[in-house]
Amino acid sequence: MTYFQQAPELDVSGWLNTTTPITLEQLKGQVVLIHAFQMLCPACVSHGLPQTQAVHKLFENEKVSVIGLHTVFEHHQVMNKAALEAFVSEYRLSFPIAIDTASTQGVIPKTMHSYMLRGTPSIIVIDKQGNIRLNHFGRISDLELGNLIGQLLTEPENISSATSQDLPSKSKYPQKSQPNCDAEGCAI
Amino acid sequence: MTYFQQAPELDVSGWLNTTTPITLEQLKGQVVLIHAFQMLCPACVSHGLPQTQAVHKLFENEKVSVIGLHTVFEHHQVMNKAALEAFVSEYRLSFPIAIDTASTQGVIPKTMHSYMLRGTPSIIVIDKQGNIRLNHFGRISDLELGNLIGQLLTEPENISSATSQDLPSKSKYPQKSQPNCDAEGCAI
Amino acid sequence: MTYFQQAPELDVSGWLNTTTPITLEQLKGQVVLIHAFQMLCPACVSHGLPQTQAVHKLFENEKVSVIGLHTVFEHHQVMNKAALEAFVSEYRLSFPIAIDTASTQGVIPKTMHSYMLRGTPSIIVIDKQGNIRLNHFGRISDLELGNLIGQLLTEPENISSATSQDLPSKSKYPQKSQPNCDAEGCAI
Amino acid sequence: MTYFQQAPELDVSGWLNTTTPITLEQLKGQVVLIHAFQMLCPACVSHGLPQTQAVHKLFENEKVSVIGLHTVFEHHQVMNKAALEAFVSEYRLSFPIAIDTASTQGVIPKTMHSYMLRGTPSIIVIDKQGNIRLNHFGRISDLELGNLIGQLLTEPENISSATSQDLPSKSKYPQKSQPNCDAEGCAI
């Protein structure tokens, strides 16, 4: 039997595109896609955010919730909430976007730290029981992401432990060591 | 309960990229993707065949079988087997490709007729029990296709009737009336 | 004989990617491409800036000067100099970038006003004598832009008036009325 | 002073998209783009032919003539005239296309041999005096191609020798040794 890690709750300082804060606890029973990005990360803008928007649109009538997570770990001064609001408006993003709570002790914000993200873009997929089923830094193809969401959608909502021997228990994607931003993303 | 149509067996006159003919009967227990194309159909070349090759590669170690089906309904003289072999070699397609049996009574080949395909590219997805779960003319996004394959992969192999109320029992894609080939495909 | 408008001098409050300010007067004898953009304009990020970077690289050993012009006419607070510096660093832009001087009387900055730009992205091409030969709002294909630069490169540096009956004296591109930002650009 | 090679006359066995054969002699005074391709060459289909069609459209009212040249050096049996006609119809190519005359002594057709082409796609650009100004195997960017055409368009029609010290006298593109077809093209 495979055991998955329970997704830690989001620790966020604000929300865009939603009037009420969202908790992962509320979303139990749904597949959740969290896209961690920075507004000045080129690969997030060219690949990750359009993909996330497409997931949001394709599954809007299904048990899939999409959340953007602004995990600023560089240029904190200029990637503030007002800047993010302008960015989200200009890029016409329509899914709820959370602002990761800044740390008082370092550059890495709190949710980014608790999920041990390696940079942006990162994609986290959580199953209906609240388990982390994918935690991936860099790009992932639409075919792979669609496949994973499709598999998780068919799982039952209310069992306490999924066995799912056919499903990836962790990311199988190679995780490169990258200095700063390149075409693949911005690494810590 | 939703009843799906059983996929009719392929009626083909030859194969490429496989030394032995393939039957759908043999593939029971697997999800099967059939990509119906013509080698001179622009949308097949730019979109359908690269997508099919990507599915073939992504799922090569999983219970997914990918088959190309050369359904020639125009320019029969020049889209013959020798031409197809050259095309498949130059485009480096590696999945098995069947040649749909020409009809003695009209331009539409036999498998294309039995599946009531409307043109090329068409994508047929068959579940583990041999039921048609998608029969789509034109383009489909990688996200949608991945999602469908992912859902079907989680279904059991050996039940006689799937209920699957969440799954599309037929294509929900708008099917346009198209004269000949355009960016979307070649219609009958 | 065709008369072209002399390009007004830039009125800018700062520069990135150059240690000394640049004037159009200095660039007489060269073809000059000015790309007016905003860092939060989607069409600038996806199309205009990569095109400008490609022009900068292709013609680096020829008599072509490329200048970016940050013409902020919305979200002034968050598209400040520090934000632009972070943006330019992350996107690895290497051509000189000027910051258009903010107006004390309205949202439109001064150089944007003197060139009567209609929004971002805009492309201005100036010939060797300092005449405006293209002032275009929205996208322009690489083929068209390359053709124009190629034609202007062959003109002599030191005649006082070009006749150039074959060249466009003004933009022939349709200029759409656009509310805010869309895939084509951000209009005033 | 730079001397350019005079472009040899085309040796072709047939034409598509024109009722009368075309000679380079007739086209003196115009810039001529010849795109050498094979209908089953992937890089020709994805890059070279769309680029050639774009040049044909952009310059249709200017002194630029665009010619396709079907230079078959492999799979001769299946890339015959009837197949090419079907291909040209399906891909909606509208510029005149010549069929390079097959050699009786080898696989390389006659015009391909006289121009010493290295494979497909190849682009040949001829100036108004009939000189070869570019003979390039593989891809070339729209920006580069537009620039070259733009420069050649400004040259006079009736001088006997161009000096053009700013123009490339031969291709500056690296010419790779390539076995058969890949993403860049099909080499001899």
Model confidence pLDDT, tens digit, residues A162-185: 444 444 444 444 444 444 788 888
Q: What percent of chain B has pLDDT over 70?
A: 88
Q: Residue B178: is its pLDDT beyond 80?
A: no
Instruction: Pick left, alpha or beta for residue B180 (phi over 0 → left; psi -120 to 50 → alpha; otherwise beta).
Output: left
* Record: contact A86-C78, CB cut-off 8 A: yes
| pLDDT class of D76 with cuts at 50, 70, 90 | very high
pLDDT in tens, B144-176: 999 999 999 999 987 654 444 444 444 444 444
Q: Which CA distances in Å does D119 have to C47, D76, D131, D137, D177?
A: 32, 14, 21, 6, 10
pLDDT in tens, A151-163: 999 999 876 544 4
Question: Which of residues 79 through 108 in chain B touch A, CB cutoff 8 A?
Answer: none
pLDDT in tens, C51-91: 999 999 999 999 999 999 999 999 999 999 999 999 999 99
Please list every residue in chain D whose beta carbon sits closer than 8 Å to the beta carbon of residue C59.
147
Collapsing DSSP states into helix, strand and coil, what is residue D34? strand
| A186 interfacial to chain C (CB closer than 8 Å) | yes
pTM for the whole thing? 0.88
Distance CA A11, CA A31 (A): 19
The answer to whether residues B12 and B111 touch, using CB atoms and an 8 Å cutoff, is: yes
Residue A166 pLDDT: 42
* Record: contact C146-D146, CB cut-off 8 A: yes
| A180 interfacial to chain B (CB closer than 8 Å) | no
Q: If you count residue pairs, one on A and one on C, with CB atoms under 8 Å apart, how many are there?
A: 44
Whether chains D and A touch (3+ CB pairs under 8 A) is answered by no
pLDDT in tens, A78-106: 999 999 999 999 999 999 999 999 999 99
Residue D170 pLDDT: 43
Q: Which CA distances in Å does D136 have to C149, D140, D173?
A: 21, 8, 7
* Record: contact C186-A77, CB cut-off 8 A: no
Whether chains B and C touch (3+ CB pairs under 8 A) is answered by no
List the CATH code of the domain at C12-187: 3.40.30.10
- Tokens 């068919």 identify what position? A154
Residue D3 pLDDT: 79
- Residue in chain D lying closest to B42 (CA): D91
Q: Which of B65-69, B149-153, C149-153, C180-184 has the lowest mean pLDDT?
A: C180-184
The answer to whether residues C149 and C125 touch, using CB atoms and an 8 Å cutoff, is: yes
Residue C159 pLDDT: 61
| pLDDT class of D172 with cuts at 50, 70, 90 | very low
Q: If you count residue pairs, one on A and one on B, with CB atoms under 8 Å apart, how many are there?
A: 77
Name the residue facing B82 among D77, D82, D186 (closest C-beta). D77
Q: Residue B39: is its pLDDT beyond 60?
A: yes
Give me A152's structure tokens: 């998780």
Taking residues B12-26, report their average pLDDT. 97
* Record: contact B42-D91, CB cut-off 8 A: yes
- Tokens 């003319």 identify what position? B137
Please list every residue in chain A whose beta carbon sits closer than 8 Å to the beta carbon of residue B147.
58-59, 146-147, 149-150, 153
* Record: contact D141-C54, CB cut-off 8 A: yes
| C173 interfacial to chain D (CB closer than 8 Å) | no
Cis peptide before B121 (omega within 30 of 0): yes
| C33 interfacial to chain D (CB closer than 8 Å) | no
Residue B159 pLDDT: 61
| D184 interfacial to chain B (CB closer than 8 Å) | no
Parallel/antiparallel/unpaired status of strands A64-70 and A97-100 = parallel
Residue D158 pLDDT: 74
pLDDT, mean over chain A: 90
Name the residue facing C146 among D150, D154, D155 (closest C-beta). D150
Give me D151's structure tokens: 């420069």
Residue C166 pLDDT: 42
Distance CA B130, CA B5 (A): 9
Sign of CA dihedral B9, B13, B15, B20: positive
Q: Which of A167-176, B21-30, C31-40 has the lowest mean pLDDT?
A: A167-176
Residue A177 pLDDT: 44
pLDDT in tens, D13-62: 999 999 999 999 999 999 999 999 999 999 999 999 999 999 999 999 99
* Record: contact C151-D151, CB cut-off 8 A: yes
Helix (H) or strand (E) holding A143: helix A142-153
Q: Residue C19: is its pLDDT beyond 50?
A: yes
Residue type at C80?
N
Residue C185 pLDDT: 87
Taking residues C127-137, report their average pLDDT. 98
* Record: contact B90-D46, CB cut-off 8 A: no
Distance CA B159, CA B29 (A): 10
Q: Per-domain residue ranges for chain B?
A: 28-187
* Record: contact D90-B45, CB cut-off 8 A: no
Query: Largest Cα–Cα distance of chain D, in whole Å?
Result: 46
Collapsing DSSP states into helix, strand and coil, what is residue C187? strand
Q: Which CA distances in Å does D176 have to A156, C18, D137, D172?
A: 55, 37, 9, 12
Residue A152 pLDDT: 98
- Residue D69, judged by CB atoms within 10 A of its CB (0-12, 13-18, 19+), counts as buried
* Record: contact A153-B153, CB cut-off 8 A: no
Kindly indicate whether the domain formed by B28-187 is annotated with CATH number 3.40.30.10: yes
* Record: contact D42-B91, CB cut-off 8 A: yes
Distance CA A118, CA A138 (A): 9
Question: Which of residues 39 through 68 in chain C touch A, CB cutoff 8 A?
Answer: 40-42, 45-46
Highest CATH level, class, for A12-16+27-157+166-187 = alpha beta
| pLDDT class of D1 with cuts at 50, 70, 90 | low
Give how far C186 is from chain A: nearest CA, Å. 9
So what's the ipTM on this one?
Answer: 0.87
* Record: contact D40-B82, CB cut-off 8 A: no
Name the residue facing D83 among B83, B90, B91 (closest C-beta). B83
| B77 interfacial to chain D (CB closer than 8 Å) | yes
Q: Which candidate in A59, A63, A64, A154 is best for mutational testing of the B interface (most B CBs within 10 A)? A: A154
Distance CA A133, CA A146 (A): 13
Please list every residue in chain A whose beta carbon sits closer than 8 Å to the beta carbon of residue B163.
none
* Selection from A113, A95, A116 nearest residue A34 by Cα: A95
Residue A148 pLDDT: 98
How many CA atoms lie within 13 Å of C168's alpha carbon, on the beta-carbon side?
Answer: 19
Q: Which candidate in C75, C78, C178 is best for mutational testing of the A interface (most A CBs within 10 A)? A: C78
* Record: contact C150-D155, CB cut-off 8 A: no
| B146 interfacial to chain A (CB closer than 8 Å) | yes
Give how far B83 is from chain A: nearest CA, Å. 30
